[in-house]
Structure formats: structure tokens, C-alpha cells
Structure 1
């Protein structure tokens, strides 16, 4: 009788064992699907961040180049430090999205110091136990801003024709410009900062 009961118990436990294993396998596949989606989402965010920063850096470089070009005409500086002289650089956002295997699905420039960018990954989440994921693509957005780092005051009427304003920049940096020896000019990174926007920007 004992042997028969042991075999019977083992026979009853086997279906339970199969059910538990199947459940664990299902959970493992579900976690894998979630992981695939997270990786895809992370890739989309990386592409969006890179695209927004690239566009902002291109405009920053344009503004810095214009400042160097017009360094002897301080009356044009304010437009540059206001961002009014920049050009739309969303084409750079397209390039960087492409380099990160994503497509740009939106790029807005505010005409001065801000780029809002959206991207979609080309690679889908892939096949998984979750229906429809094979056609799902991750989307992400990012905002990059350009921040002027320097201020200046135009020389008074009594100043000489060749007197240039002094640039007062962040981190207590000063640039005293000699119009006769313009050899030590600030670079783009000295004049403007580029960074991803925070929630309060």
C-alpha cells in the first residue's frame, strides 16, 4: 500500500511541477520582453539627446563665428548674444538621429536658443510573448538650450573709434580685447554653453 501511494503522489505532483515550470518560463519571457523594450527606449533617448545637442551646438558655432567676424563692430554683438543672428540647424539633428539608427520625427527651433527634438527608432522591440511588439518602435524627445555666457557694455561716446567692450563671462572670466592685436579671442565654448534642458527650463 505504501508503494502504491508513493507512486500515486508522484503522479499527482508531476502536472503541478510542469505548471510551475511553465509559469516560471512565461515570467522569464515576460521579463525579457520588458528588457527589450527598455533597451529600445534607452536607444531612442540617446538618439534624441544627441540630435538636440548637435543642432544646438551647430547654432552655437554659427553665433561664435559671427561674433569673430563682427568683433570690430560691437554694435552687432547684442544680436549675436540674443541669438537673433543664428540659423536653423535641424539638419544636424537629422544627421545625428540617423547615426543613432533613428528617424527624426520633429525638430522645432525657437529662433534663438532652444531646440525641441523628437525621434523614433528604426529597430522595433522585436518578437516576444507580448502581441504586437514586432511592429512597435520606441519614441523619445529631448530639448537642448544655448546659454550666452558673457555680457558687455558698449563704449561711451567719448571712447575712441577702435575701443572694444570688455566681455564679462561666467566663472569670473574677462576678455579685454585689443583691436590692434586680436590674437586671444574666446572660443565658442567660452561665449555660449550648450546643454540638455532641465525640467525648469
Structure 2
């Protein structure tokens, strides 16, 4: 069996140490990347939940204004009017997902359009192999659409006095809703049919 001279064995030891150090660095780097990816995914989930929550609460808040617009025969004006964005609801859902709401705003448009929420995760990447990562937190953004899906209702004004007695909405899912403005149904029973809420790309 051939043996390495003592001097060769001494030279091999630093190489071995460097290889072990290199492998350890790579392991830490992969761990940091994996942690950053997990934090990013968590923040995206928080942003999605926050945007949907804000949009759903906005839809709930539409009830009084929607019915008032029917009584005043001003539905089109209601659908394009500015509305308050319930950003507190966005923060509540972001917080439940270990993040904080940083931006929350509507994008005006016909049929009540969009609510965008940006969140920042609470946990930093904090990796020894990524400089500055001790303060680096994952950010994500999501946009929810509130879509009025029952346009062009049929209006009955039997007295021809400009005050409609009945609105018949034929919605895109085929459902038909009849609303008497003077005696409307509970908002929660019709709101999800009249207004769809879903996540969309910006």
C-alpha cells in the first residue's frame, strides 16, 4: 500500500478544510434561498387574503348605497362613484397571516373595479451568507376585482313618475333577481350574485 509522504498529507489537510467550508457555505446559501422563497410565498398568501377580505367587505358595504341608487333611479351613477376601501379589513387578514398591510388603494373604474393591497412579512430572511438579510423582509402585492355581473336591468315604472317600482336583473350566471326598491331583500342574500369578488392580475 502506497502512503503519502508526511508533507503531502499536510498539504491535503487545508484543501480538505476548504472543501468542507465550501460545502457548508453552499448548504447555508441553499437554506437561505429556501427560507426567502418560503417567506415570499407566505407574504403572497397574506396579500391575497388581505385583498380578498377588503373587496368582500367593500361589497358588504355597498348595500345601503346600492338600494338608495335604485330608489333614486341612479344605479349607473352609483356604479362609477368613488367608494371607501376597508383597509382595516385588509390589515386584519394580513396580520392573521403574520404580515402587515403597507399599501391599500382602489383603482377607479366602471363596475367598482379593483382593490390592491401590498403587504410585508414580519420575519426577516436573516441569513449569515446574505449581507443585509437581517432586515430583509418579503413583500407581496395582490389585486381583487369587485365585478358587477348583472348589468342592464329591466326597469318597471308603471306610474311613469320616474320612480321605478321594480328592477329585474339577469346576471351572467343565468340567475334572475327581482328587487323592489321600496322593499328590498336582505343585502347578504343578493350581494354575492350581484357582485363577484376574485383575485386578478394587475
After superposition, the C-alpha distances for 1:125-155 in whole angstroms (9 at most, x for unaligned) are 1233112111111111111110001120322
The farther-off stretch of 145-154 and 70-79 is 70-79
Number of residue-to-residue matches in the alignment = 196
- TM-score of the superposition, structure 1-length normalised? 0.79
Partner of 1:122: 122
Residues 145, 198 of structure 2: 8 Å contact kept: yes
- What is the SS of the residue equivalent to 1:154? strand
CA contact (8 A) 2:124 2:138 kept: yes
Alpha carbons of 1:12 and 1:126: their partners in 2 closer, same or farther (altered >3 Å)?
same
1:88 correspondence with 2:85: yes
Contact 1:75 1:154 in 2 (8 A): no
Q: Quote how far apart the aligned CAs of 1:4 are.
A: 4.3
Which of 168, 174, 177 is the matching residue for 2:170? 168
2: CA distance, partners of 1:182 / 1:61: 15
TM-aligned CA deviation for residue 92 of structure 1: 1.4
Gaps of 5+ in 1: none
The alignment partner of 1:19 has SS state of helix
Q: Deviations over 1:161-196 (max 9, x none)?
A: 774121110121112456898669742211111111
Distance 1:5 1:181 in 2: 98
Structure 1 Cα separation of the partners of residues 120 and 171 of structure 2: 38
The residue that corresponds to 1:136 in the other structure is: 136
Distance 2:127 2:4 in 1: 45
Distance 1:94 1:110 in 2: 18
Is 2:53 aligned against 1:54?
yes
**What is the TM-score with the length of structure 2 in the denominator?**
0.78
SS in 2 for 1:45: helix
Structure 2 counterpart of 1:187, from 176, 187, 190: 190
CA RMSD, aligned part only? 3.2
Measure, in 2, the Cα distance between the counterparts of 1:141 and 1:18.
44
Q: 2:71, 2:181 within 8 Å by CA — same for their partners in 1?
A: no
Which range is displaced more, 33-42 or 160-169? 160-169
Show structure 2 runs of 5+ residues with no match. none
> Quick one: distance in 2 between partners of 1:144 and 1:184?
24
Q: How does 1:95-114 map to 2 (within 5 A)?
A: 95-110=92-107, 112-114=112-114
1:31 shift after superposition: 0.4
1:75 is aligned to 73
